[in-house]
Amino acid sequence: MNENRLIHEKSPYLLQHAHQPVDWYPWGEEAFEKARREKKPVFLSIGYSTCHWCHVMKKESFDDHEVAALLNERFVAIKVDREERPDLDQVYMAVCQGLTGQGGWPLNVFLTADQRPFYAGVYFPKEDRYGSPGFKSVITQLSEKYTERHEEIHDYSKRLTESLQRKMKQEPTALQETILHTCFNQLGQMFDSIYGGFSQAPKFPAPTILTYLLRYGQWQGNDLALQMVERTLDAMADGGIYDQIGYGFSRYAVDQMWLVPHFEKMLYDNALLLIAYVEAYQVTKKPRYQQIAAEIIQYVTTVMRDEQGGFYCAEDADSEGEEGKYYVFSKTEIERQLPQEQASAFCALYDITDEGNFEGNNVPNLIHQRKERIAQTLGITEEKLSTLVEQARQTLYRYRETRIPPHKDDKILTSWNALMIVGLAKAAAAWDEPAYREHAKSALSFIEKELVIHDRVMVRYREGDVQGKGFIDDYAFLAWAYLEMYEATFDDRYISKAQTLTQDMLSLFWDESHGGFYYAGNDAEQLIVTGKEAYDGAMPSGNGVAAYVLWKLGKLTADPQYDEKLEALFDVFSSDLSHYPTGHTQLLQVWMLTQMKTAEVVLVAEQEQVASSLRTLQKTFLPHVVWFLQDPRERAAFTSFQLVDRTKKHPMIYVCENFHCQRPSEAIEEAIAELIEMK
């Protein structure tokens, strides 16, 4: 069996390529020194272990001895796991998008020995197809050009790199409140009023857009903003993008109505959608949003949780070489597994037919069916129908577990785990659920124990091995997690940890000359471009989340340094926000907070009294409010409130602005009404 240098790596993605005939190198000086010594170009391939098209290209090209011989003879081949090295992925994805107008994975980039790109693309078939060159043609032609026009290619790669560096620098512009309305109007134009979402097909969940709209709707009293959120959340929960049997959301749907998913499940998608469903519940009080949030948590804590408390990355779309095979059913298969009454009810409600809705099989979904109609057709009550389909779901779940499961990427990433902790903490606060709180605490303890080395946050843990100095996402998301854990527990230590981590974040990533956070720290490997990013991709940007952390700490501590840094951060990204507001909704959420009337709410109460008072407040969506708990028996650890009466036996609530408080009240419901009306 073939074996290459990737055999010594811990990344599941790199290990998938460790027995190929391609002479793969991990990213590092050894590979580039070989390229310089042998005067060869570098082939850089970036992907991740649950990527469907990465699997396809692996099978077609990288497992192929003919292709491997060409690569080994003419290139130095490097494999990178984008989840371990998001800095490399970010730099070279920008190159690919600039050259081709496309992005995605596998990301394939051709470099000179000094790491400068001269050609890029995503998936290539092995052979030429439909007028487009196949991978064999690409590597043959590029290697010949590299030999024949060596100086020309080097000059081109330098110009390309300089162009990329120039794009990183933009002149600031004055931000106006109108940009928030412009963003809303543009989202309204993008919105699919029939099926929800903000594109036609493929269709992605875009949770950061949803949380922007929730804030905008409350601030402006805009019902349409809330309607867009509800339609999207309802349609996704009905669709095949949501696993109706085992719970959890897939990466995206390939169609407009959310029916057919791209079946891989990512931790970050489920964390961010958990946040969206919790917040939507706080606005609407719809029980279904609480149900979906609870099911996401059940999926993640059952399937994706390490025994030490951390959460794994992802589950693959493929099993047994087929996309979606684990998740789909034939009608005959369901009828064999269930009693007749359950089978009839389940098939009627979940769109299960003989013809199928996906390549002859069925993706269970609720898109076109409603319980009241199905119950009436079957001549049973809705309660009876609910009982039957839940019994059927449990049976089918157990049956599905007997199948060969998809590959699970069991890396534990700091940034993605931090997002899950945020979601769990928000759910714990909204519903006062101790189990959610404990899951969040356990994951946070895992990060602190395993992923912080000599006070430096790291990127990845797997099987006892820790790799990579943390990036801005790791620090910003973890600081956000600490802040949410404070509101879920009112343990002052989480604020202290958030402050310490934020100071480290400023020391490592802050641009002292122009403001904003660099993606990589000042102790990181130097790449061809040192970038700052505010664009929200599948996850909110590190700068966008860092902005929220700065805003929140400014409100919690009254320390002016946080406000000063926040203002500088908005300045450096002002041009990006103005030109493309819908791509920067995380940062714009924070800008919105600076334009709103905000409040500090202090509950003076003993810890034992919190549940009946503060939890009532936390069931309500109040993003412009910063919460404090002050035990009258103790001195506040990090605030400078001057509160007048600590002697009352009942919990007292103070509504404050800029640390100046109104007279205290015992009327919690009145305080909620006042806070909701505050704009």
- CATH number, position 191: 1.50.10.10
Same domain, yes or no: 107 and 134: yes
pLDDT of residue 608: 64
DSSP state of 131: T
Helix (H, G, I), strand (E, B) or coil at 458: strand
Same domain, yes or no: 627 and 667: yes
Same domain, yes or no: 370 and 383: yes
Q: Which amino acid is at 670?
A: E
Residue 528 belongs to some domain of the structure? yes
What is the CATH number for 37?
Answer: 3.40.30.10
Residue 332 belongs to some domain of the structure? yes
Helix (H, G, I), strand (E, B) or coil at 203: strand
Q: For tokens 């489920």, name the residue.
A: 270
- Give pTM, 2 decimals: 0.95
Q: Which amino acid is at 582?
A: T
Same domain, yes or no: 391 and 439: no
State the Cα angle at 179 between 173 and 184, rounded to 5°.
Answer: 155
How many other CB atoms sit within 10 Å of the CB of residue 503?
11
d(CA 471, CA 90) in angstroms, rounded, equals 12
Residue 549 belongs to some domain of the structure? yes
Among 102, 136, 167, which residue terminates a domain? 167
d(CA 198, CA 233) in angstroms, rounded, equals 12
What are the phi and psi torsion angles at 504 (to 5°)? -65, -40
Q: For tokens 């395993």, name the residue.
A: 450
pLDDT of residue 662: 79
Same domain, yes or no: 632 and 647: yes
Same domain, yes or no: 468 and 490: yes
Whole-number Cα distances in Å, 131 to 55, 57, 451? 23, 18, 48
Same domain, yes or no: 548 and 449: yes
What is the CATH number for 608?
Answer: 3.40.30
d(CA 211, CA 273) in angstroms, rounded, equals 10
What is the CATH number for 346?
Answer: 1.10.10
d(CA 573, CA 559) in angstroms, rounded, equals 23
DSSP 81-128: ETTT-HHHHHHHHHHHHHHHS---SSEEEEE-TTS-EEEEES---SS-
pLDDT of residue 168: 75
Q: Residue 143 is part of which domain span?
A: 5-167
What are the phi and psi torsion angles at 262 (to 5°)? -85, 110
Cis peptide before 202 (omega within 30 of 0): yes
For residue 132 the two structure tokens come to 């487009």
608-650 residue pLDDT tens: 666 566 777 888 999 999 988 877 666 655 565 555 455 566 6
188-241 residue pLDDT tens: 999 999 999 999 999 999 999 999 999 999 999 999 999 999 999 999 999 999
Same domain, yes or no: 627 and 576: no
Residue 613 belongs to some domain of the structure? yes
Among 115, 138, 167, which residue terminates a domain? 167
d(CA 477, CA 517) in angstroms, rounded, equals 13
Cis peptide before 41 (omega within 30 of 0): no
For residue 311 the two structure tokens come to 């959460």
Q: How do strand 117-121 and strand 107-111 relate by DSSP bridges?
A: antiparallel
Residue 673 belongs to some domain of the structure? yes
Same domain, yes or no: 29 and 132: yes
Same domain, yes or no: 260 and 157: no
Among 367, 402, 437, which residue terminates a domain? 402
**Low-confidence residues in the chain, pLDDT < 70:** 606-613, 632-650, 679
Number of structural domains (the chain) is 4
Same domain, yes or no: 393 and 494: no
d(CA 496, CA 498) in angstroms, rounded, equals 5
CA-nearest of 331, 334, 328 to 358 is 328
Residue 302 belongs to some domain of the structure? yes
pLDDT of residue 146: 95
Indicate the helix (H) or strand (E) that contains 134.
Answer: none
d(CA 403, CA 398) in angstroms, rounded, equals 10
Residue 173 belongs to some domain of the structure? no
Radius of gyration for the chain, computed over Cα atoms and rounded to the nearest angstrom: 26
Helices 492-509, 542-557: axis angle to 10 degrees equals: 130
For residue 215 the two structure tokens come to 């804030």
Residue 172 belongs to some domain of the structure? no
For the chain, helix (H) and strand (E) counts, in that order, are 26, 20
pLDDT of residue 635: 61
Same domain, yes or no: 589 and 610: no
